[in-house]
Amino acid sequence: MVDDGGGRVFTRSQETLLKDVINRIVPAEGEFPGAGDLGVVEYLDRVVGESPALTALFLPGLAYVEIAASRAHGKDFGSLSTDEKDRVLRQVEQERPDFFSALVQQAYNGYYTNPDIYRLVGPESHDPKSSANLMKPFDPLLLEDVRKLGRVYRET
């Protein structure tokens, strides 16, 4: 674990890389910000820091993202075009599936539990006692068509 006095897992360069990566996993669209721009990196730093298993996946996994970018394009991940980043991430997904799966899961967790995203997504709240939520009385006429079919359709 990297500790620069703040108890952090990721170095500044890893945070920058992670921000770029998760902005491709959950990109900005309309009024929804990308996961990296939303601050999900801080969430990931906390979650990964609490789990030795995630730390063991994330630190080499992030290093591999940079290695894959360099091998494929001769540049660091942050310097790549959007299409190049996506190709590198597809390669990482194929070659490091455990890391990539954990990364996607934790990125989604951090994104969709963020209060700003929660407000944008919903859910709509309804008063359970409102008349809109009351069940309508049963209408026995709904069964008339079934009764006309005969006993074989009503008995098991």
Interval 67-90: pLDDT, tens:
999 999 999 999 999 999 999 999
The mean pLDDT value of the chain amounts to 87
Per-residue pLDDT at 133 exceeds 90: no
Measured distance between the N- and C-terminal CA atoms of the chain, rounded to whole angstroms: 64
Do 106 and 25 contact (CB within 8 A), yes or no?
A: no
Q: 102-126 burial, b if ≥16 CB within 10 A, otherwise e?
A: bbeebbeebbeebeebeeeeeeeee
Positive or negative: CA dihedral 33, 35, 36, 38: positive
Q: Which of 112, 118, 123, 119 has the alpha carbon at shortest distance from 22?
A: 112
> 20-41, pLDDT tens digit by residue?
999 999 999 999 999 999 999 9
pLDDT greater at residue 120 or residue 94: 94
What percent of the chain stands above pLDDT 90? 67
Do 85 and 22 contact (CB within 8 A), yes or no?
A: no
Query: Where are the domains positioned within the chain?
Result: 12-126
The mean pLDDT of 116-145, rounded to a whole number, is 72
Residue 119 is predicted with a pLDDT of: 85
> 45-61, pLDDT tens digit by residue?
999 999 999 999 999 99
Per-residue pLDDT at 96 exceeds 70: yes
Residue 25 is predicted with a pLDDT of: 96
